[in-house]
Amino acid sequence: MSEVESVEKFRALSPSEFFYRNREIAGFSNPARALYQTVRELVENALDATDTHHILPDVKVVIKSEGGDGSRTLVNSEGSAEEYEGVLYSVQVEDNGIGLPPQHVPRAFGQLLYSSKYVLRQSRGMFGLGAKMAILYGQITTGRPAEVITSQILSKKIHYFKVSIDIANNTPVIHEFSIMDKNNEWHGTVVKIHLIGDWQRSKQKIYDYLKRTAIIAPYANIYFEDPEGNIVMFRRSTEEMPVPPREVKPHPYGVDIELLKRMLADTSAKTLTEFLVKEFQNVGELTALKILEGAGLKPDLKPSELTLNDITELMRSIKASKIRAPSGRHLSFLGEKLIVLGLRETLKPEFAAAVTRKASVYEGHAFIVEAGIAYGDKVPPSDKPLLLRYANKIPLLYDESADVMRKVVDSIEWNRYGVTLPAPLAVLIHICSTKVPYKGVGKEAVADVPEVEKEIELAVREVARKLKSYLSRKAKEYEEAEKAVTIAKYIPDIARSLHTLTDGKFKREELEKELLQLLNKKLTMLKIKSLKEVVIEVS
């Protein structure tokens, strides 16, 4: 081997090229998964554009078959070619959100890791990938750019773009651009992506995703038209919305040395004391002075004058200090009322209940866990409770067995709560945080972080106790109902005896009627059905 041949070749990958080579880690592993993931990412963006700004969402999703067998050669993560069979589809999602500033549209859809979500505020998306991964997948399977139409609130113009991604440089490529006058009050964004997909294999997942989105967002209208021409409308059942999340400052426990270095370089604070008070939440002047004393740093030192050793000592002192837990103001939880409404409207259960826990903390990040239970009636019976998993209002459909939520639900001894499996039981769990501990970029399973796992278990057990109370009350009512049926059998005999004892003063038919009325009144006081319904039920 010559000296030239033995030299290693080095080059850098742009974010676009990295995800082009490793798209399966973001959920785009095959045509079926890619079609589902595209719908999911676009619907998430649509809901973020509306309910984050307290706009009642009207979301329209249309998938169309564009014809052709769509056989394509794709490069997998090992760099070798693979043949994928699929059909050419278009996925279009429209929302009535705030719209996008036109100057940001090319980078928002044509540059990976460019986003408005890199602030400390809860949103459905986290990584700045979402729609851009769908555009990238569509681009490499069909060669077609994405189409974006957007108009901001109060704007008199509509902006139209055709945009793709320059994979080598991670920059947007604008193929078409036009501006139109707006003759109505419409505002929002429409995104259309062409891709190779597999509707038959992804059909059930897409319908499940939309149904579960309707459960968690009963305040949204979601229109869906599938490639077979079927139209489904998930109508809003309330106009009450969750409180929108607010952007907050980072908590000291949630930063590391690199983030601290960047904050020190970017701050406008003149002194270290001012820096700690101004840039962090829950740090007052006294707390700041104690932190600086622990680090051996002067309070009036300029942030720009700190050495690497100074920053390391400051970080150590922060971690050793007692600082109040992070605020949950930047989190947008649903609340018990909306969860129960969503479960009742979609699953049609006999009983539904929910709990929302107080904010907790892991690694300096605040999070809130909510749990709901639906039992009986139209809920399908199963050997394991039907688990509805959510993170930041996103339904999680894949990798359930790897999720800490499934681990917790399976560990519950349901017979302690009056439930004998198999049973018509559904359990909803929702985690909201600016840093949900996902197991991968695909965001389909939550890791078993001890603090999060504990809160999930406490939430599930709390709502399970509500179910136990209901089932105990129902069992007591049933027992009383059985007694009533037994008593009712003897009413004719009692009426006949009273008729005889009073020498016929009271008519037997009237006595029977009055005794039945007394029994029904007793059942009503016990909040039990009428005697006629009880007899049918007990029979």
Q: What is the CATH number of the domain that holds 289?
A: 1.10.8.50
Average pLDDT for residues 459-480, to the nearest whole number? 88
Question: Is residue 488 over pLDDT 70?
Answer: no
Euclidean distance between CA atoms 312 and 491, whole angstroms: 86
In a domain, 326, yes or no: no
Average pLDDT for residues 123-127, to the nearest whole number? 51
- Residue 29: per-residue pLDDT: 83
Confidence category of residue 93, pLDDT binned at 50, 70, 90: very high
Helices (H), 296-335: 308-320
- Residue 235: per-residue pLDDT: 94
> 536 versus 508: which is more confidently predicted?
508
Q: Which of 444, 470, 496 is the last residue of a domain?
A: 470
Question: Is residue 539 over pLDDT 50?
Answer: no
Residues 69 and 177 in one domain: yes
pTM of the model: 0.78
Please tell me the least confidently modeled range out of 75-89, 288-302, 455-469.
75-89
Residues 56 and 179 in one domain: yes
Confidence category of residue 156, pLDDT binned at 50, 70, 90: very high
Residues 421 and 341 in one domain: yes
> 117 versus 255: which is more confidently predicted?
255
Confidence category of residue 370, pLDDT binned at 50, 70, 90: very high
Average pLDDT for residues 102-107, to the nearest whole number? 92
Residues 312 and 189 in one domain: no
Question: Is residue 75 over pLDDT 80?
Answer: no
Nearest to 340 by CA among 351, 353, 349: 353
Average pLDDT for residues 216-224, to the nearest whole number? 95
- Residue 3: per-residue pLDDT: 54
Per residue, what are the HEC states of 466-512? HHHHHHHHHHHHHHHHHHHHHHHHHHHHHHHHHHHHCCCCCCHHHHH
Question: Is residue 224 over pLDDT 70?
Answer: yes
Kindly report the average pLDDT of the chain as a whole number: 84
Tokens 């095959």 sit on residue: 30
Cβ-proximal residues to 522 (8 Å cutoff; 6+ apart), any chain: 484
Average pLDDT for residues 266-283, to the nearest whole number? 91
In a domain, 435, yes or no: yes
Tell me the pLDDT tens digit for each residue of 141-153. Answer: 999 999 999 999 9
- Residue 396: per-residue pLDDT: 94
Do the beta carbons of residue 38 and residue 193 sit within 8 Å?
yes
Residues 316 and 347 in one domain: no
- Residue 245: per-residue pLDDT: 73
Question: Is residue 123 over pLDDT 60?
Answer: no
- Residue 532: per-residue pLDDT: 46
Average pLDDT for residues 266-270, to the nearest whole number? 91
Residue 200 belongs to domain with CATH number: 3.30.565.10
- Residue 71: per-residue pLDDT: 46
Do the beta carbons of residue 235 and residue 346 sit within 8 Å?
no
Residues 151 and 267 in one domain: no
Do the beta carbons of residue 539 and residue 489 sit within 8 Å?
no
Residues 492 and 429 in one domain: no
Euclidean distance between CA atoms 20 and 165, whole angstroms: 11
- Residue 163: per-residue pLDDT: 95
- Residue 219: per-residue pLDDT: 94
Question: Is residue 106 over pLDDT 70?
Answer: yes
Cβ-proximal residues to 94 (8 Å cutoff; 6+ apart), any chain: 46, 59, 60, 188, 189, 190
- Residue 190: per-residue pLDDT: 97
Residue 429 belongs to domain with CATH number: 3.30.230.10
In the beta sheet, which residues pair with residue 89? 65, 195
Under the phi-then-psi rule, with left for phi > 0, alpha for psi from -120 to 50, and beta for the rest, what region is 113? left
In a domain, 6, yes or no: no
Tell me the pLDDT tens digit for each residue of 18-70. Answer: 777 767 777 788 899 999 999 999 999 999 889 888 899 999 999 999 876 54
Question: Is residue 337 over pLDDT 80?
Answer: yes
Q: Which of 470, 491, 510 is the last residue of a domain?
A: 470
> 432 versus 247: which is more confidently predicted?
432
Q: To which H or E segment does residue 352 belong?
A: strand 351-356
Q: To which H or E segment does residue 389 belong?
A: strand 386-391
Question: Is residue 480 over pLDDT 70?
Answer: no
Euclidean distance between CA atoms 79 and 185, whole angstroms: 49
Residues 197 and 147 in one domain: yes
In a domain, 247, yes or no: no
Over the range 462-499, which residues count as b (16 or more CB within 10 Å of their CB) and which as e?
A: bbbebbeebbeeeeebeeebeebeeebeebeeebeebb
Tokens 């021409």 sit on residue: 229
Most confident of 71-85, 331-345, 437-451: 331-345
Confidence category of residue 325, pLDDT binned at 50, 70, 90: confident
In a domain, 172, yes or no: yes
Residues 42 and 115 in one domain: yes
Please tell me the least confidently modeled range out of 199-203, 418-422, 454-458, 517-521.
517-521
- Residue 535: per-residue pLDDT: 45
Domain count, the chain: 4
Average pLDDT for residues 76-98, to the nearest whole number? 74
Instruction: Return the SS3 of 283.
Output: coil
Residues 174 and 52 in one domain: yes
Percentage of the chain lying above the pLDDT 70 cut: 81
> 346 versus 518: which is more confidently predicted?
346
Euclidean distance between CA atoms 117 and 114, whole angstroms: 9
- Residue 510: per-residue pLDDT: 73
Peptide bond into 422 cis (omega under 30): yes
Residues 182 and 71 in one domain: yes
Residues 188 and 273 in one domain: no
The one-character DSSP state at 275 is: H
Question: Is residue 506 over pLDDT 60?
Answer: yes
Residue 375 belongs to what domain range? Answer: 336-470
Average pLDDT for residues 230-243, to the nearest whole number? 93
Q: Which of 470, 490, 505 is the last residue of a domain?
A: 470
Tokens 């400390």 sit on residue: 120
Interaxial angle between packed helices 308-320 and 257-266, expressed in degrees from 0 to 180 and rounded to the nearest 10: 110
In a domain, 180, yes or no: yes
In a domain, 2, yes or no: no
Confidence category of residue 83, pLDDT binned at 50, 70, 90: low
Average pLDDT for residues 314-336, to the nearest whole number? 85
In a domain, 349, yes or no: yes
- Residue 323: per-residue pLDDT: 87
